[in-house]
Amino acid sequence: MSTPRVALVTGATTGLGFALCRALAQAEVAVAVTGRSRSDAEHAAAQLRREGHEQVLGLALDVTDPVSTSRAVTDIHRTFGRLDILVNNAAVAIDPRAAASTVALEVFEATLAVNTTGALRMIQHALPLMRTGGSARILNVVSHMASLGEMTTSTSPAYAVSKTALLAVTRKLAAELAEDDSDIAVNAASPGPVDTRMNYRPGAQSPEDAASTMLWLLLDEKVPSGGFFHGRDPLPW
């Protein structure tokens, strides 16, 4: 039996990341569920297997550690032989009430290390394997706060700037892959407020509902590249 499409989702043991893994598995995609804790990743993967999804792998993955990201891609190559979908969902929000003029620089740098540099590190390690297949998809999960028009005092400076920088990574990478005539689409998407531990707003949607708004960027045969979306609606940069 041939291996189906294979996806790796970072930050996937709970919340939106886990909901994305479940939705992909329901679409008959083999999924690597990743998290910084190996036991948490294996527990989440076991939950999906109990739901009847056999091709699910739990992997320890710290996007700030180049050895960890390289090992995760190697494990996927060894297990599945391919990687078709990468979702950069891992993120931290550790400055919810800070101001740009006073935010602790170590907090700012730690946020960028996960939300921006970590995502780019994951892309760089995954791309060689993704290039060996046919069409592939990279999705960077961001936020409405990433839009420059949303840069107000109500947004967390480190988190907002890190996600705006990830938008820039999205555009640069999409342009580079287009010049290579590659069939790898790279996009960014904001799910909007989601009921997870990172959310500070009431009335947020469920992780499952949020995940459903992004699936088309991962599963549709024809998708744009270099876009910033909420659902199917483009968002202003």
pLDDT exceeds cutoff 80 at 208: yes
Domain 6-234: state its class.
Answer: alpha beta
- What is the arithmetic mean of pLDDT over 179-204? 82
Mean pLDDT of the chain: 94
CA angle 143, 169, 135 (to 5 degrees): 95
**Selection from 173, 208, 206, 207 nearest residue 187 by Cα:** 173
- What is the arithmetic mean of pLDDT over 177-182? 90
| Domain spans in the chain, listed from the N-terminal domain onward | 6-234
What are the beta bridge partners of residue 7?
A: 31, 85
pLDDT in tens, 89-105: 999 999 888 899 999 99
The pLDDT assigned to 197 comes to 61
Comparing 62-66, 120-124, 131-135, the range with the smallest average pLDDT is 131-135
pLDDT in tens, 33-61: 999 999 999 999 999 999 999 999 999 99
What percentage of the chain has pLDDT greater than the value 70? 96
The pLDDT assigned to 168 comes to 98
pLDDT exceeds cutoff 90 at 125: yes
pLDDT exceeds cutoff 50 at 113: yes
Which of helix, strand or coil describes residue 153? coil
**Amino acid at position 183, single letter:** D
Point out the catalytic residue in the list 80, 108, 159, 229.
159
The two structure tokens encoding residue 177: 């892959």
Q: Does 159 participate in catalysis according to the annotation?
A: yes
Q: Rounded to a whole number, what is the largest CA-CA distance in the chain?
A: 57
The pLDDT assigned to 154 comes to 77
- What is the arithmetic mean of pLDDT over 160-171? 97
Give the other-Cβ count within 10 Å of 4's Cβ.
16
Can you point out the beta strands (E) in the chain? Answer: 6-9, 30-35, 56-60, 85-88, 136-141, 184-189, 228-230, 233-234
State the Cα–Cα distance between residues 199 and 15, nearest whole angstrom.
11
Surface-to-core class of residue 37, CB atoms within 10 Å of its CB (0-12 exposed, 13-18 middle, 19+ buried) = middle
Comparing 43-52, 67-76, 121-130, 173-182, the range with the smallest average pLDDT is 173-182
Residue 173's pLDDT band (boundaries 50, 70, 90)?
A: very high
The pLDDT assigned to 203 comes to 59
